[in-house]
């Protein structure tokens, strides 16, 4: 910068200031767009139904009204829906992480014939429209019920098996990124000390990759928590998750928006809390898979 | 004679064992590690996919469903119905396909532009940067079902906050004048929700991409006296190409097969905004015509695979091989 004349520097500073102010303004707009629906969710959950239908623009509730948070539990079995979601999404997360971490480790550490083909095959599952495989899976489950007497439809294990499989490709992709950041020298040392390959994986690599595994697990949990299409076909009648149950706030006579938003707020809090806690790992994990050249 | 058979089996065995000789211990261990994933995907992804393909050439519906193996085989009946404009499905197929494309491209452009803007703004140091980054990511992590219903509530004509805001701003006169969830605006609403949901993903990927650009490139550009715009155009954008490729591809494919947003945001059988996933769902599960649904799904799969492959060939060869899986 030595050669730049000083009057030039001044005007550059003024321009930088304007640009900086403009950038702050745009970022503010984006944050407003991002957070406004969340704000509306909480605000509506604190309104009474009559206040919701009043004319004119009222963003904030006139008084803090927690009645919705009390009433929503009574309308139908909301507690049951939450418990079902926790069982389904929780078990899915454990199974998916177990299976996917093995595969991700293979992709991260070993060269083997067909590696590229396996990778593309796993990636290609992300393009399959859900409705295409829904019917065959339904028939498959019916057949298992009939031939082997094992109930599959409207059971926890049926929907958990489906979700565990759906989430495996994405989990492999993320976990591979984490495993790549762990130096292979540690396993080589363990192998020299007499560990088997599998022992090197679960004694050395898995403990070191724990933050990444936790972040991936959160993604898996969110996907399983939010799935609607397969849940509507395979998880009714006793195992209904929250994603399906919340639709019951829409009745023939209208939608109970205020109670629905209270339920939505309650369902968002745990996920957003976990996200806030694991933010750093989640961000690095999300980006690790795609950043390697 | 027996000698030649022995020679034959010997040579056959050699042929067969040649590849397995290539499988050293490491490869075999890697295959064991992959086995559970592949087995699960075979059961839930690949066999049902082939099965769906088979069903699309038959007449499986509510009445032949349980005994589907004995359903009548009528090759191409479903496919020809889809492509004939005078059938129930053919009459709406093309408009549904067009809406699907508009939904996918609208989403992709919106997500990328907003994501890149956010990433560039976050890619400098200022107070509260970490807070801003965390807040931007919220839509991606909040439960989708809950957030789609928030948008549905906000878009509602008479009581929704969006129309109330427009009245307040003087854009429209009364809140029941503008409809977002039915009519031509349905597609716009779906795109807005999908962009809101997914731009944080693009922003964080592009942010990481920006952070990985070597500082020397910017130093070189500044020594050459490049303007801000020239630096962005000739240094930043080219360096972001691999991550851009990943984002664009994911957004197109995810939009093509998105079911949750149209299903929860719009009415179950909307006149406008009935993208293919919803269209298929209605034909297969409301009308019980599973073979037609399967045939439509196969078409959707072929389209999204063709686009992905074309895009992959055009831009991301190197980045996929090195990066994603």
B263–A229 CB contact, under 8 Å:
yes
Residue A56, number of CB atoms within 10 A of its CB: 8
Residue A277, number of CB atoms within 10 A of its CB: 12
Would the pLDDT of B216 be above 50?
A: yes
State the nearest Cα–Cα gap between A54 and chain B, in angstroms: 8
Would the pLDDT of B188 be above 90?
A: yes
Coil, helix or strand at residue A255: strand
pLDDT grade for B18, boundaries at 50, 70 and 90: very low
State the nearest Cα–Cα gap between A279 and chain B, in angstroms: 7
Give the pLDDT score at A292: 44
How far apart CA B128 and CA A52 sit, in angstroms, is: 34
A57–B165 CB contact, under 8 Å:
yes
Give the pLDDT score at A253: 81
Expressed in percent and rounded to 5, the helix, strand and coil fractions of chain B are 75, 0, 25
Residue B214: phi and psi, rounded to 5, are -60, 135
Buried b / exposed e over B144-158, threshold 16 CB at 10 Å, is: bbbbbbbbbbbbbbe
B263–A106 CB contact, under 8 Å:
no
Distant-in-sequence, close-in-space partners of B189: CB < 8 Å, separation ≥ 6? B151, B155, B180, B181, B265, B266, B273
Identify the CA nearest to A138 among candidates A122, A118, A154, A116. A154
The B residues from 139 to 178 touching A (CB cutoff 8 Å) are 139, 141-147, 149-151, 153-154, 159, 161, 164-165, 167-168, 175
pLDDT grade for B316, boundaries at 50, 70 and 90: low
Distant-in-sequence, close-in-space partners of A183: CB < 8 Å, separation ≥ 6? none
How far apart CA A35 and CA B261 sit, in angstroms, is: 19
Residue B23, number of CB atoms within 10 A of its CB: 14
Coil, helix or strand at residue B270: coil
Q: Is A137 on the interface with B (CB under 8 A)?
A: yes
Interface with chain A: mutation pick from B22, B30, B264, highest number of A CBs within 10 Å? B30
How far apart CA B264 and CA A188 sit, in angstroms, is: 51
Residues B48-59 have pLDDT tens digits of 999 999 989 988
What is the signed CA dihedral for A107, A111, A116, A120, rounded to 10 degrees?
-20
Q: Do B290 and B224 meet the contact criterion of CB atoms below 8 Å apart? A: no
Give the pLDDT score at B11: 64
Would the pLDDT of B197 be above 90?
A: yes
Would the pLDDT of B26 be above 60?
A: yes
Q: Is A195 on the interface with B (CB under 8 A)?
A: no
The B residues from 237 to 296 touching A (CB cutoff 8 Å) are 242-243, 246, 250, 253, 256-257, 259-260, 263-264, 276-277, 280-281, 284-285, 290, 293-294
How far apart CA A246 and CA A102 sit, in angstroms, is: 36
Q: Among A152-166, B45-59, B232-246, B306-320, where is mean pLDDT lowest?
A: B306-320
How far apart CA B242 and CA B244 sit, in angstroms, is: 5
- Residues comprising chain A, all counted: 293
Q: Quick one: A68-291 is in which CATH superfamily?
A: MetI-like (1.10.3720.10)
Identify the CA nearest to B251 among candidates B136, B99, B98, B104. B104
Q: Is B208 on the interface with A (CB under 8 A)?
A: yes
Domain boundaries, chain B: 80-322
Compare CB distances from B142 to A38, A124, A169 and report the shortest one's residue.
Answer: A38
Interface with chain B: mutation pick from A58, A129, A199, A275, highest number of B CBs within 10 Å? A129
Q: Is A280 on the interface with B (CB under 8 A)?
A: no
Give the DSSP per-residue string, B54-99. HHTTB--BTTTSTTGGGSPB-TTHHHHHHH-TTSHHHHHHHHHHHH
Residue B274: phi and psi, rounded to 5, are -85, 85
Compare CB distances from B209 to A59, A120, A291 and report the shortest one's residue.
Answer: A291
Expressed in percent and rounded to 5, the helix, strand and coil fractions of chain A are 80, 0, 20
Residue B87: phi and psi, rounded to 5, are -95, 165
Give the pLDDT score at B40: 95
Give the pLDDT score at B323: 41
Identify the CA nearest to A51 among candidates A67, A36, A35. A67
How far apart CA B178 and CA B21 sit, in angstroms, is: 70
Compare CB distances from B277 to A23, A131, A162 and report the shortest one's residue.
Answer: A131
Compare CB distances from B121 to A23, A222, A229 and report the shortest one's residue.
Answer: A23
Distant-in-sequence, close-in-space partners of B102: CB < 8 Å, separation ≥ 6? B187, B191
Q: Is A278 on the interface with B (CB under 8 A)?
A: no
CB-neighbour burial class of residue A185 (10 A; exposed 0-12, middle 13-18, buried 19+): exposed
Q: Select from 1.10.3720.10, 3.10.20.30, 1.10.490.10, 1.20.140.150 the CATH code of B80-322.
A: 1.10.3720.10
Q: Do A133 and B52 meet the contact criterion of CB atoms below 8 Å apart? A: yes
Tokens of A45: 């959950």
What is the predicted ipTM?
0.85
Give the pLDDT score at B319: 47
Q: Mean pLDDT, consecutive 10-residue segments, chain A of 293 residues? A: 51 82 93 94 90 80 85 86 94 97 93 89 86 88 89 94 94 87 85 86 87 86 91 90 90 86 89 80 66 42
Q: Is A168 on the interface with B (CB under 8 A)?
A: yes
Look at phi and psi of residue A63 and say left if phi exceeds 0, alpha if psi is from -120 to 50, else beta.
beta
Sign of CA dihedral B61, B67, B68, B72: negative
Tokens of A23: 């950038």
Q: Do B257 and B279 meet the contact criterion of CB atoms below 8 Å apart? A: no
State the nearest Cα–Cα gap between B5 and chain A, in angstroms: 31
Q: Is B210 on the interface with A (CB under 8 A)?
A: no
Q: Is A221 on the interface with B (CB under 8 A)?
A: no
A272–B142 CB contact, under 8 Å:
yes
Tokens of A292: 């390697």
State the nearest Cα–Cα gap between B9 and chain A, in angstroms: 25
Compare CB distances from A30 to B118, B147, B319 and report the shortest one's residue.
Answer: B118
Residues B90-147 have pLDDT tens digits of 888 999 999 999 999 999 999 999 999 999 999 888 888 888 988 998 998 888 889 9
How far apart CA B91 and CA A74 sit, in angstroms, is: 45
pLDDT grade for B165, boundaries at 50, 70 and 90: confident
Give the pLDDT score at B24: 77
């Amino acid at each position: 910068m030595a050669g730049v004349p000083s009057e030039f520097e001044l005007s550059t500073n003024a321009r930088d200031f304007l640009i900086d102010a403009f950038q702050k303004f745009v970022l503010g707009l984006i944050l407003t767009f991002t957070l406004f629906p969340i704000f509306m969710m909480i605000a509506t959950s604190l309104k009474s139904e009559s206040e919701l239908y009043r004319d004119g623009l009222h963003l904030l509730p006139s008084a803090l009204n927690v009645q919705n948070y009390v009433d929503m539990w009574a309308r139908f079995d909301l507690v049951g829906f939450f418990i079902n979601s926790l069982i389904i999404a929780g078990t899915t997360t454990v199974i998916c992480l177990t299976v996917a971490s093995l595969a991700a480790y293979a992709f991260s550490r070993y060269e083997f014939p067909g590696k590229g083909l396996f990778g593309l095959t796993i990636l290609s599952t992300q393009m399959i429209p859900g409705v295409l495989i829904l019917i065959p899976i339904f028939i498959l489950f019916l057949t298992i019920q009939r031939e082997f007497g094992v109930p599959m439809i409207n059971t926890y294990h049926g929907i958990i098996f489906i979700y565990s499989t759906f989430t495996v490709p994405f989990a492999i992709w993320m976990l591979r990124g984490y495993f790549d950041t762990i130096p292979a020298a540690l396993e080589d040392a363990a192998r020299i000390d007499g560990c088997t390959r599998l022992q090197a994986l679960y004694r050395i690599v898995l403990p070191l990759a724990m933050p990444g595994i936790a972040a991936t697990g959160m993604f898996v949990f969110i996907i399983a928590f939010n799935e609607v299409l397969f849940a509507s076909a395979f998880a009714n009648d006793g195992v209904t998750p929250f994603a399906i149950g919340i639709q019951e706030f829409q009745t023939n006579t209208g939608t109970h928006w205020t109670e629905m938003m209270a339920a939505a707020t309650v369902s968002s809090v745990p996920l957003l809390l976990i996200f806030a806690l694991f933010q750093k790992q989640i961000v690095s994990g999300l980006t690790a898979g795609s950043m390697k050249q | 004679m027996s000698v030649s058979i022995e020679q034959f089996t010997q040579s056959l065995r050699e042929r067969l064992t040649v590849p397995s000789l290539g499988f050293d211990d490491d490869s075999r261990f890697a295959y064991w590690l992959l086995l559970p994933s592949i087995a699960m995907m075979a059961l839930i992804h690949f066999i049902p996919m082939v099965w769906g393909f088979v069903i699309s050439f038959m007449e499986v519906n509510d009445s032949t469903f349980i005994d589907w193996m004995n359903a009548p085989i009528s090759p191409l009946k479903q496919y020809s119905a889809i492509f004939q404009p005078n059938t129930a499905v053919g009459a709406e197929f093309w408009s549904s396909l067009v809406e699907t494309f508009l939904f996918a491209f609208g989403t992709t452009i919106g997500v990328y532009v907003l994501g890149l803007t956010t990433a560039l703004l976050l890619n400098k140091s200022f107070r509260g940067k970490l807070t801003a980054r965390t807040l931007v990511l919220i839509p991606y992590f909040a439960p989708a079902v809950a957030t789609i219903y928030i948008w549905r509530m906000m878009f509602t004509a008479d009581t929704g906050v969006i129309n109330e805001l427009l009245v307040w701003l003087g854009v429209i006169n009364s809140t029941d004048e503008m409809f977002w969830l039915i009519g031509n605006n349905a597609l716009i609403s779906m795109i807005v929700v999908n962009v809101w949901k997914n731009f944080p993903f693009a922003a964080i990927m592009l942010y990481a991409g920006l952070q990985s650009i070597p500082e020397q490139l910017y130093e070189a550009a500044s020594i050459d006296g490049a303007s801000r715009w020239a630096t962005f155009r000739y240094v930043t954008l080219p360096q972001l190409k691999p991550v851009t490729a990943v984002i664009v591809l994911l957004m197109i494919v995810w939009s093509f097969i998105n079911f949750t947003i149209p299903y929860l945001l719009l009415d179950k059988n909307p006149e406008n905004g009935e993208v293919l996933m919803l269209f298929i769902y209605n034909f297969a599960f409301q009308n019980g015509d599973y073979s037609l649904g399967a045939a439509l799904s196969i078409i959707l799969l072929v389209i999204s695979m063709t686009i992905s492959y074309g895009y992959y060939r055009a831009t991301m060869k190197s980045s996929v091989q090195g990066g994603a899986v």
